[in-house]
Each structure stands twice: as C-alpha cells, then as structure tokens.
Structure 1
Amino acid sequence: MLLPSELPSLPVVADLADPTLTSALHHLIDHKTKPLGALGRLEALALQLGQILGTEQPRLEVPQMVVFAGDHGLAAKGVSAYPSDVTWQMVENFLAGGAAVSVLARQHGLALTVVDCGVARDLTPRQAVAGQPQLLARKVAAGTQDASIGPAMTPAQCAQAVAHGMEVVRSLPGNVLLLGEMGIGNTSVASLLLARLCGVPLEACTGAGTGLDAAGIARKRQVLEQALQANAGAVEPLEALAALGGFEVATMVGAVLQAASERRVMVVDGFITSAAVLVASRLEPLVLQRCVFAHNSGEPGHALMLAQLRAQPLLDLGLRLGEGSGAALAWPLLVSACAILREMASFATAGVATKA
C-alpha cells in the first residue's frame, strides 16, 4: 500500500467546463463558410482545443514530443519478441535522429525529448543542440522487478517516478505535450493495467506486442496471469501501477497530471501511453478533458482501453510501433483545427449567402 508520506503532492486539475466559451465556439464553428457539420471530426477537435486553451483563437505553441523510456523485469520471461537491450539501443536511435518518431518530430517541428525513467543501462544526459533531441536522466532504477513474482516497483519508487514526470513537464515550454514511450515488455504492462483496473479479460487485451507468434502470445498470457495472481491485492490505481507497471508508465502518469493542471493539450499515442492516461484518469478524471487520442493501434487491447476511456481516436492506420509515432502523425490535424477556428471566414464576413 502507498502510504501518504510516499505519495507526491498531486497537482490540482480544474474543470474546463465553461458554458459561455463553449457556446461561443459552437457559434463560431457553425457559422464558418460551410454546411453545418461538414468538417466532421475536425469540428469536434477544434471545439475541444478551444475549450482546453480557453479561447476562440487557439494557438498551439512550442509543442513537446516526450518519449519516456524504461526496462521491465517481466521481459526476462519472454513476453517480447525482442531482447531488453533494444530499449537502450532505440533510445540512442531516437537521439541520433533515425527512429520513426525522430523523423516525424523533425518533419513537423516538434521538440523531441527522451526521458530515461529506468533503462537498464547507463545513458549520458545531453542537451538539445541545433534542433537535436535532448536526453533527460530521471532513472529510478535500472529496470523494474519481475511482476510475475511480486511487485514491479516499491511504493517509494512509484511515487518517485510520478514526481519525476511532474517535474519534467514543469521544465518544458509550450502548451502541447505529445506522449511517446519505449520499453521492451511494456505492452504487457498496458495489458495488466487494463485487466486489473477495468476488469477486461486478460486474453482479450493481450496481443503480439513487438511481433510474437501464436505460441509466444500464449506464453505471454500465461506470464501475465501469473503477474495478476502475484499482485492480487494491488487494486487501487497507484497500487496497481506500482505492482504491475513500469517506470516509464509511472513517469508518464505524473506528466499527464502536471500537463492537465497546466491546461496543456495532450496528444496520446497508443496502447502504453493510453495506459498511463487510464491510471491518471482514475486519480483525476478531469485529465481526460485535455486528451486528444491520436489513433487506434493494431494492438487488440488498445481498442478496449479506448472504449473504457470513452475516447474516439483521430486515426486508424493499424499502427503498433509506439514511440509517439501515432501522436506525431495526428499532429497536423490539431494544427488544421486551430487554423480553421482562427482563419476561416464566416458567412457574414465573406458575404456568402446562408442556406435558404
């Protein structure tokens, strides 16, 4: 159990409900030079962005793509098609500019930060130089323990990771946070949290992850069932996070809570980042007002998690890469939604006749 002395002081998240602003945004969107509702989901997105940023003229400023990385003791049980070394190797790939998220962040002008939350290798912190990504050292430990035999983290480690996430967001400029992650074995964590916190059957929310075959998926489900049994008493959100989660997921939970308190727009990537949002929303439901869900991934548990969060993703491309790649791909839609609000003419200003 997490003792009060071990909990970080969680930020206050205010309700964004503002009937006056919402009415003004609806009026603005409905009177643009188009048939009513003709821009479909883009109109709902524009409304949400205006509500989050508290204005009829929203601007997305200095967007931050943050990739949270950590290793998992559970990976030793063969729950992934790749070895744990891939975690630190991919971190280096992010920083060298060769990963998908690196390319997409560069394409769209997103500042890229990688956070070492618990990678099982010593990594050297580095500052962003000439547009290159930065690496922040917020390592709690060199990977979590094996959740199939006991808690993945101590309560103090979980609290430390949450506090790290809050601090990272406070240190970054802008009003947008795009969430990404890296950690061999972390689809297992997402499946475990979905099963424990939402009561979804484990077999329904466990997929191939990095590319397991049918036998590998069966082995993964067996290991995850052992993890649920070994941590049967961890049912509250933070207790479940400590028992089943990863350092990168716990750090993201803190980041989500802090970003919500600062009224930042959050672009949520795939299954693992959604798991962090799930935990954060069980601690503070109002965080969901600030979340734009980028896509529905090819990992079977993600659609189930989105349903639990009552979230409608922007894209459905069969992605299952993670890293924040889906969030980066969805990013131009947010830019367009804001531009429509700010720049598209109304029937009155354009002198265009309305429907008879």
Structure 2
Amino acid sequence: MTWLVTGGAGYIGSHVVHALLEADIDPVVIDDLSSGVESFVPERVPFVRGTLLDGALVEQTLRDHDVEGVIHLAGFKYAGVSVQRPLHTYTQNITATVTLLQAMETVGVDKIVFSSSAATYGTPDVDMVTEDTPTSPESPYGETKLVGEWLLRDAARAQDLRHTSLRYFNVVGSGSPDLFDTSPHNLFPIVFDMLYRGETPRINGDDYPTPDGTCVRDYLHVSDLALAHVEAARVLAAGGSLEPVYNLGSGEGVSVRQIMDAIREVTGIHFEPEVRERRAGDPARIVANGDKAGRDLGWQMRHTLRDMVESAWQARKAAGDRYPG
C-alpha cells in the first residue's frame, strides 16, 4: 500500500517517511520546500514538489501513485509568527486542508491521519491534559489546527472518510544524523546555535511552582512520534477503529532546567543559563496524558531525555552550515 505524506521533506515528516519504509509501507511525498529539505527524502521515495493549494497537482499525485491514505503534516507551524501572519497561516493550514480533502474525495482516498497540535488547548487550567480537556487555542496556528480537526469530522459525516488526529507538544531529537530540526523557533535549535556562537542560553523564569522553579513541558522524541503516525495509518488501513483525537504525551514532562543540564552534559560545553523574567502567559506546567494512544496506537516514550539531546546534538554537528541559525 502507498501513503501520501504531505510535508514529508520536513523535520517530522521525513521521520514519518523513514518509519513508513521500515514498516514496509510505500510512501510518496509532496512538499513545497518552504521549510522542508529535499535531501531529507530518501532517493527511492517519489517526491512531488508542490503546494497543497494546487488541487490538480494533489489529485494527480493521488492517482499516479495509487494512494490508499494520507498522513497530513504539511502546514505553517510557527505559533508566534502566526499572530503576525494570520491570513498566511489560515491559507496554508485551512485552505490547503480543504483542497486536500476535496482531492481525496474526488479520487476516492478515504483514510487520513492528521498532525494536529497541543496548541489547540491554549493555556489549560489543568497540569495534566487529556483528550477531554476543553480546547481554547490562543494563536492563529492553534486555531487552524483545531479547525483542521473539525474539517475531518465534518467531512466524515458527509462522505466515507476514516480519520484520526494526533495532538502533541514539543518534538525534539533525531532518528538519523542526516535529519535535523529546521525550525528557528524551537528550543533545541535555539540553544545549540547559541552555544555554537559562544552565547549563553536563557531560561525565562525560575520561580514557578515546580520542583526546580522552571516550566515543565512535554518533550517527545521525533522517532517515537513518527511511529505513532505510522501505527495510526496501519490501523486505518486494516479497517480498525480509532478515536477522532489522541494526545501523544509523556505523562510526566521535563523542566527547562533539566533540559539545560542534559545539554551541558551531552555537549561538554560548560554554561550556566541566564535567568530572565517570566514570559507573559507561560503556565508553570503543561503535560499530556497519552494513555489512549498507548492503548490504541502502541504509543510509548522509547527514548530518554539524554537520548533526545544526544541525537539532536549529533544531527546539529552533522548539519554544519545547513543548520538554521
């Protein structure tokens, strides 16, 4: 069977592609390379350079490769920047998803795994997020991810569409030194690049009501995340039933201080992070419960914090000047 991976040249998407190959599922990739890297796509995987806004191209790709289902990761993912670029965010994340679903309906592709986000929850008033926690996104990015879930839900009411959406927080690490996080807004790339420039990484607030005073969040290894997407595709392909939404969470979380300590230990670069004032709106702790995903998708944290840091550091060193900094 063949599955289309939208955004398959990106950091997460490329890991999903590799996981599909390891599961003996044939992937095909469509990506406009706005943030993806073509070399992230293995040579033996068909690659279509283009935007999901081009409905004819998407439809032709589905037909040419006899696609059975779609893992939809493409989108504009920068929550902070989305506040300054709401129209762009909605176009890339909502209009493109509508176009994709229209093409799928036309061709008869009836299975989709949607890469959603924990940004749909906004700043919840609980320290352990479940799928029943009310959604209240606080950025255009979070809003578009929630609307994307609604689109799948409503399309499934009107046509034969089997789907699930995966929500998650911070994705880190690398499954291969050739694949690295290309985002200039994520914690690991920011800290690694500051260390390379001889600058001191920063912690925003150390007086939170947490064990070490710094914010606690869910950090997931990208390879674990990729496996969950592939397992969701396999269940849908086999005719199994899935919940409309799953959280991929650790259930425990890691503090910013713990991350800094692990980075110092792994890199061998001695530094003491500079502590700055709290950022407005940063909750002390947000961690997701992943029990439902564990039950239905075999979700589990297979990598330790050290694994996450060490693999990301190796990929950063291998990337050299290609690293976003």
TM-score by length of 1: 0.33
Task: Compare CA radii of gyration and give the structure with the larger one.
Answer: 1
Task: Name the one with the larger helix percent.
Answer: 1
Q: TM-score, normalised by structure 2?
A: 0.35
Where relative contact order (Cα < 8 A, 6+ residues apart) is larger, the structure is 1
Pick the structure with more strand per residue.
2
